[in-house]
Amino acid sequence: MTSLLPPWLPCRSLAVGQGQALHQCGDGMKVDESRCVKYGLNPAKVRSITRRLSTAAKEAQELGLTVFSYIGGSGVLRISTIDGEHGNIAELDGHFDGGDD
């Protein structure tokens, strides 16, 4: 399979069987190029979104915040204190899913 990755992207191919192309881009960030193609998604666009979301999540974590989602698709930035207190600091625009599968 020919890689759809532009040569300037800092990603590396990971060996996956059955014609799948999985690319690791940065710290733990992975994009399954074959699934992108299967579902008609542009792999470069998916990598770009993944990279931006990963960067934002890391920046939030540096401040002690967690990107959190509620049932219904709303997202928030949440802080948790040492004594177990939780507080929503900001509401996010867009659809967020906590993943139920």
**pLDDT single digits (tens) 66-92:** 888 877 778 888 888 878 788 888 888
**Do 73 and 90 share a structural domain?**
yes
pLDDT of 2 strictly over 90: no
**Do 49 and 2 share a structural domain?**
yes
Say how far apart CA 40 and CA 34 lie, in whole Å: 10
Output the pLDDT for position 69: 84
What is the pTM assigned to this prediction?
A: 0.65
Q: Which domain holds residue 24?
A: 1-56
Output the pLDDT for position 99: 65
Q: What is the rounded average pLDDT of the residues 20-37?
A: 73
**Do 94 and 73 share a structural domain?**
yes
pLDDT-derived band at 25 (thresholds 50, 70, 90) equals low
Count of domains forming the chain: 2
Residue 14 sits at the vertex; the CA angle it makes with 25 and 31, to the nearest 5 degrees, is 45
